Amino acid sequence: MNKVANVLPNEKKTVKSSINTAKRYYSKHVDFFRLINKMKLWPSRKGILHGVKSFKEMGVNAELITHCNETIIIKNSRNSRAARWLRNKWFAGSCNKCKIPQWKIDKYATTVFNKRWGSQLIEKK
């Protein structure tokens, strides 16, 4: 969101708000499925970041469909490659077919995972 600074009517300057640079804190021990469902991002084995179109839990497994129409069956494991890559923010680039917007990559880059505190992404009843 942009805010207009106090200037003359002919000159409009925009100042970026602090919403874009705000950090989001998540616990490292958060449930992996809830993290995927919240972030809507999936790192492939080659390091390409995909956008998640739909996510359906099926017990200890889940079906993940990306925006480039790839179907992936994943297990709920905090120690998996994908979980480590999301927590450590390792990726080589974003998928051209998924067309992940730059604001989403910036938001992901400012996300912080902490061992001792952060959101647990608990569902509200």
Q: Which residue has the tokens 């359906």?
A: 56
Residue ranges of domains in the chain: 21-114
72-85 tens-digit pLDDT = 999 998 889 999 99
Least confident of 19-28, 49-58, 93-102: 19-28
| Average pLDDT for 15-42 | 76
- Per the CB < 8 A criterion, the answer to whether 60 and 52 are in contact is no
65-124 tens-digit pLDDT = 999 999 999 999 888 999 999 888 888 999 999 999 999 999 888 888 887 666 666 666
Provide the b/e sequence for 88-110 (b: ≥16 CB within 10 Å): eeebeebbeebebeeeeeebbee
Q: The whole model's pTM is what?
A: 0.73
